[in-house]
């Protein structure tokens, strides 16, 4: 049994001006193929897939050359057509050259935005189908932030989407993809699907599956999977920062040769979402940035620290709203991680600044109205990292101390801190600080909330409806009609 393994993921914020280019996908380790590809992310989708596939003695896995996450992470806009065609073209060539294959595993995300290609993941599946033929089976894994519709499973056979946000079950979904792909190849599973768009669009900060509404929705999907053998329920929450026609919520149900059951489960899931739509959309309190800094100061006075301030809305990484307000309100004992500013890092590098040197510069802001103004920081360099091969000779970050025991990390790219332990990598000793201002919507819950670390969590966004705002009506959508989605549609029936 010969199975090809491919990987192509990105969560594209199409409203960002900086395109995601071919060069962004090419760096030390990327693209990857063979064992190097199969070995990425042992605790995520790929690790789960490879583990279970290799429990079967008659399975051969072929790692097809694939790009890993771009250097820009999730801080970049439209993927260029050139980058997409380059990698997919090489994948198709290699599939044809090394075939025939009995199966293909596609490790995807689902929120890829490519210039000129409305549904990139479905397009990948169609081209892979053409390369491997009708008799091969195609299985994929997805992130719940994927923007998908019926098109994907018209070209592929199976899809498994992570249920939790933070994405705890990525490895588990990888194992399910492997097991069921192998069953399809053996004739032990005949997948039938039912799927439907739910015209509900939500900012990602509200989609925390630790909140009661989202947890209960996920529990409903898990209950169906527990009740019925071979029922698989995928709930795509959707990614509203991609201006693509298939954004919004989407539910897929797979059964073993039972379209009636698939339709029944689907009707139950979409009906539940629609009945719960208002609670799903009110799952988090979001405050202004001045209010967030004030609340953090008050919590510290009352001894309720560590405090986490999550600026959920920054999509470029350059936003300075929180840093500016920390300085304005003279907050102390605070870590700001991070403010992106590539040119500030280049200047630090060319000046050869070292630990203990004075740092004086205006950092961040400017790249987009959502980033705000550059903010002047005067302090001392606390940490400068050694360059690694993957830094390509460019300083990845610098840590600067300022004010009354405050620290700001200046990074090259948007950086989402998910665990307190990641701060050690910036030379930060956790115990010395009371407030941690980070840029994350929900993933930080993993290490800061679910772990019991934070005594108080405040989620904030600027007053203006910038890119990343919960007020989606402030964004200039062109490829989807916001007024067709709840809560922006007048008609509440569905």
Q: Which residues of this chain interact with Zn ion, rule CB under 5 A?
A: 143, 145
CA atoms within 13 A on the CB side of 167: 23
Residue placing its CB nearer to Zn ion in the complex, 32 or 108 = 108
Residue placing its CB nearer to Zn ion in the complex, 167 or 434 = 167
**Cβ of residue 189: shortest distance to Zn ion, in angstroms?**
27
Rounded Cα distance, 472 and 194, in Å = 29
DSSP labels, 35-70: HHHHTS-TTSHHHHHHHHHTTSTT-EEEE--B--S-
Residue placing its CB nearer to Zn ion in the complex, 145 or 412 = 145
Residue placing its CB nearer to Zn ion in the complex, 144 or 462 = 144
**Cβ of residue 462: shortest distance to Zn ion, in angstroms?**
23
Three-class DSSP category at 173: helix
Q: Which secondary-structure segment (H or E) carries 181?
A: helix 170-186
Three-class DSSP category at 424: helix
**Cβ of residue 146: shortest distance to Zn ion, in angstroms?**
8
**Cβ of residue 321: shortest distance to Zn ion, in angstroms?**
23
Residue placing its CB nearer to Zn ion in the complex, 145 or 163 = 145
Residue 198: cis peptide before it, omega within 30 degrees of 0: no
Rounded Cα distance, 374 and 393, in Å = 25
Residue placing its CB nearer to Zn ion in the complex, 143 or 461 = 143
DSSP labels, 351-392: HT--TT-EEEEEES--SSGGG---EEEEEEEEE-PPP-GGGT
Among the listed residues 313, 281, 291, 306, the one whose alpha carbon sits nearest the alpha carbon of residue 486: 281
Three-class DSSP category at 5: strand
**Cβ of residue 123: shortest distance to Zn ion, in angstroms?**
21
**Cβ of residue 145: shortest distance to Zn ion, in angstroms?**
4
Distance of CA 382 to the CA centre of its chain: 30
Residue placing its CB nearer to Zn ion in the complex, 113 or 191 = 113
Work out the angle at residue 169's Cα, subtended by the Cα atoms of residues 174 and 132, and round it to the nearest 5 degrees: 20
Instruction: Provide the sign of the torsion angle of the four alpha carbons 252, 106, 42, 146, taken in this order.
Output: negative
Task: Give the residue carrying structure tokens 């405040």.
Answer: 458
**Cβ of residue 459: shortest distance to Zn ion, in angstroms?**
17
Residue placing its CB nearer to Zn ion in the complex, 107 or 409 = 107
Nearest-CB residue to Zn ion?
145
**Cβ of residue 11: shortest distance to Zn ion, in angstroms?**
6
**Cβ of residue 442: shortest distance to Zn ion, in angstroms?**
8
Residue placing its CB nearer to Zn ion in the complex, 91 or 159 = 159
Whether residue 426 contacts residue 436, with contact meaning beta carbons closer than 8 Å, is answered with no
Whether residue 397 contacts residue 345, with contact meaning beta carbons closer than 8 Å, is answered with yes
Residue placing its CB nearer to Zn ion in the complex, 233 or 363 = 233
**Cβ of residue 173: shortest distance to Zn ion, in angstroms?**
12
Exposure pattern of 170-184 as b/e (b: 16+ CB <10 Å)?
Answer: bbbbbbbbbbbbbbb
């Amino acid at each position: 049994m010969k199975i090809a393994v491919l990987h192509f993921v990105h969560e594209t914020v199409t409203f960002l001006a900086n395109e995601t280019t071919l060069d962004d996908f090419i760096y030390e380790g990327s693209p990857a193929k063979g064992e190097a590809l199969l070995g990425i992310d042992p605790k995520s989708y790929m690790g789960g897939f490879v583990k279970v596939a290799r429990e079967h003695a008659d399975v051969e896995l072929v790692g097809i050359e694939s790009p890993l996450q771009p250097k820009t992470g999730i801080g970049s806009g439209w993927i260029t057509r050139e980058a997409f065609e380059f990698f997919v073209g090489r994948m198709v060539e290699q599939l044809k050259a090394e075939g025939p294959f009995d199966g293909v595993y596609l490790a995807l995300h689902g929120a890829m935005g490519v210039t000129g290609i409305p549904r990139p993941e479905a397009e990948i599946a169609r081209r892979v189908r053409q390369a491997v033929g009708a008799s091969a089976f195609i299985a994929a894994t997805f992130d719940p932030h994927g923007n998908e519709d019926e098109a994907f499973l018209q070209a592929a056979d199976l899809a498994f989407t992570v249920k939790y946000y933070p994405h705890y079950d990525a490895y588990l979904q990888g194992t399910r993809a492997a097991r069921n792909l192998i069953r399809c190849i053996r004739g032990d599973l005949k997948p039938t699907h039912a799927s439907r768009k739910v015209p509900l669009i939500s900012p990602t900060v509200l989609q925390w599956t630790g909140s009661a509404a989202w947890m209960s929705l996920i529990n409903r999907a898990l209950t169906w999977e527990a009740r019925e053998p071979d029922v698989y329920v995928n709930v795509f929450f959707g990614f509203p920062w991609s201006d693509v026609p298939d954004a919004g919520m989407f539910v897929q149900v797979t059964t073993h040769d039972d379209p009636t059951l698939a339709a029944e489960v689907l009707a139950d899931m979409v009906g539940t979402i629609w009945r719960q739509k208002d609670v799903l959309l009110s799952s988090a309190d979001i405050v202004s940035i001045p209010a967030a800094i004030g609340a953090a100061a008050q919590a510290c006075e009352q001894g309720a620290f560590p405090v986490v301030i999550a600026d959920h809305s920054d999509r470029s990484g350059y936003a300075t709203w929180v840093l500016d307000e920390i300085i304005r309100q003279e907050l102390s004992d605070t870590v700001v991680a991070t403010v992106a500013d590539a040119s500030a890092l280049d200047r630090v590098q060319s000046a050869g600044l070292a630990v203990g040197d004075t740092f004086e510069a205006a950092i961040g802001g400017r790249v987009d109205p959502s980033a705000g103004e550059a903010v002047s920081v005067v302090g001392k360099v606390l940490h400068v990292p050694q360059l690694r091969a993957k830094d390509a000779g460019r300083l990845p970050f610098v840590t600067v101390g300022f004010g009354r025991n405050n620290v700001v990390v200046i990074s090259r790219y948007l950086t989402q801190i998910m665990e307190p332990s990641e701060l050690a990598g910036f030379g930060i000793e956790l115990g010395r600080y009371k407030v941690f201002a980070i840029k994350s919507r929900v993933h930080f819950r993993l290490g800061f909330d679910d772990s019991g670390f934070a005594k108080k969590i405040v989620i904030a966004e600027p007053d203006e409806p910038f890119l990343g705002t919960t007020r989606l009506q402030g964004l200039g959508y062109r490829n989807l009609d916001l007024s067709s989605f709840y809560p922006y549609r007048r008609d509440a029936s569905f």
